[in-house]
Amino acid sequence: MNLNKSSSNILIHILNGHTSASSIAEQLDGTDIRSIQRGIQRLVELSLIERLGATNNPSYKPNFAQILEAKIPAKLFDDETRPISNYRFNLIDWLNDCKPEQIEKMFKSNLSLELDISNKITAKELEHLTVELSWKSSALEGNSYTLLDTKLLLTEGVRAKNRTDFETQMILNHKDAIVFVIENPELFNQKIEFKSVVELHRIIGFNLGIESGVREKIVRISASNYGPLAEPQQIREQANKILSIISKVQAPYPKALLALSLMPYLQTFEDGNKRTGRILANALLISSVGRGFTLRKVDARKLAIAYLSFYEFSSVHSLDSILSAELNQ
C-alpha cells in the first residue's frame, strides 16, 4: 500500500498541525468526511500517523520515525493543487529530543564509514572531488560550464569562452569553499558553530550578489508548495537547533545526511542554501572519514524530487538513497 493523492494531502495537513478529522475537513473544503476518514485509516495502516485518545473522537500525530523513511511517489508532485506545507517545528523538536543513537539507527547506511579523523583525503582524491563537486553543484543551479571546462578552470586557470563571469565565479567559489573546509577541519569534526556555516555560505556566494547572514526577505522555492520561515529571529533560533542536532550525532553518514537535508530546508540564507548544505555535508565527511561526494551522476529531476519529498512530506528516503549510492561508488 502506497500514498495516494487523497492520503498524501491529509498527511500534509496532519504534518501542518491539524490533528482531527474535523479540522482536516475544514482545510479540505468540499471533501466528504468519510473520504477523509478513509485517508486517515490508510495513513494509520502505513504507520505514518498514530491515533490518540478516545475511539469516538480521536486525534492524530505524525510518526516521524516512519515518515522520514517513507517512499513518496514522484507523481504526487505533478498535482499543483496539493496543500501548502509549513515549516515543521514539530519535526525539528522531535529530532532534537531523539538520542544520537536513535538517529544513527534510523539513518544507518550499509556503508562502512567509521569515524576516523586521522584518515585524510589524498591530493588526487581532493582534486577529483573539487572538480566534480564544483561542476555538478553549479550545474544544478543552471551553470553552463561543462565538466571539462571546470577542470581546466580549476587546475589550469583557463576560463571557458562563451561563459559569463557569474558562472565562472560560481565555480571558483566552490573550490574556495572546499579549500576552507580542508584548512579548517576542526570546525567540522566537533560542535558545528553557526558562524562556520555563515562563512561557508559567504564563500559560496562571494561576488554573486547574494547577501551574507540570516535572510530578512521572504523566499519561495520553485515548483514547491513549501513555505519556509519568514522571521529572521525564528530562522536564527532554528539554525542553532538544527546545528545542535547535527553536532550531537557522531556517525559520519547520518551526520552528513542531516546536513544535506536540514540546511536547505531551513532556507537560512536568501540564496545558495542547497549549495551550502552540499558543502557542509561534504565537510562533515571529509573531516571525519577523509572522503566526500559529488552527485556527478545524479539526475537533476531526481534530486529535485528528493528535496521536495523532504520539504513537503518530511521524508528523507530519496535523499538517503541518493547519498548512499554516491558513497557506495
pLDDT, tens digit, 9 for 90 and up, residues 121-150:
899 999 999 999 999 999 999 999 999 999
- Check residue 32 and give its pLDDT: 87
Between 95 and 288, residue with greater pLDDT: 95
Q: Which residues share a beta bridge with 52?
A: 59
Pairing verdict, β 85-86 and 226-227: parallel
In 228-289, the DSSP E strands lie at none
User: How confident is the model at residue 29, as a pLDDT?
Assistant: 81
- For the residues 181-198, what does the mean pLDDT come to? 95
Mapped onto helix, strand or coil, the DSSP state of residue 52 is strand
Better-scored residue on pLDDT, 109 or 256: 256
Inter-residue contact 321 to 109 (CB < 8 Å): no
Q: Which residues of 9-106 form beta strands (DSSP E)?
A: 49-52, 59-62, 85-86
Taking the CB of residue 76, how many other CB atoms lie within 10 A of it?
20
Confidence of residue 1 (pLDDT cuts 50, 70, 90): low
Contact 106, 254 (CB under 8 A): yes
Sign of the torsion formed by the C-alpha atoms of 215, 86, 303 and 246: positive
pLDDT in tens, 61-104: 999 999 999 999 999 999 989 999 999 999 999 999 999 999 99
pLDDT value, residue 28: 87
Task: Provide the mean pLDDT of the chain.
Answer: 93
The percentage of residues in the chain with a pLDDT greater than 90, rounded to a whole number, is 83
Query: How confident is the model over 104-114, as pLDDT tens digits?
Result: 988 866 555 55
Q: Which residue reads 556517525 in cell numbers?
A: 251
Residue 266: name the closest of 302, 227, 300 by CA: 227
DSSP state of 110: S
Which domains are present in the chain? 5-81 (1.10.10.10), 98-327 (1.10.3290.10)
Q: Which H or E element spans position 18?
A: none
Averaged pLDDT, 223-249: 97
pLDDT band at 224 (very low <50, low <70, confident <90, very high): very high
- Amino acid code (one letter) for 191: K
pLDDT in tens, 23-56: 999 998 878 889 999 999 999 999 999 999 877 7
pLDDT at 265: 98
Q: How far is CA 289 from the centre of its chain?
A: 21
* Nearest to 181, CA basis, from 120, 114, 267: 120
pLDDT at 121: 87
- Rounded CA-CA distance 20/78 in Å is 27
Claim: this prediction has a pTM higher than 0.85: yes
Instruction: Compute the Cα dihedral for 173, 179, 184, 186 and give only its sign.
Output: positive
- Residue 128's pLDDT is what? 96
Of all residues in the chain, what percent carry a pLDDT higher than 70? Answer: 96
**Class of residue 148 by CB neighbours under 10 A (exposed 0-12, middle 13-18, buried 19+):** exposed
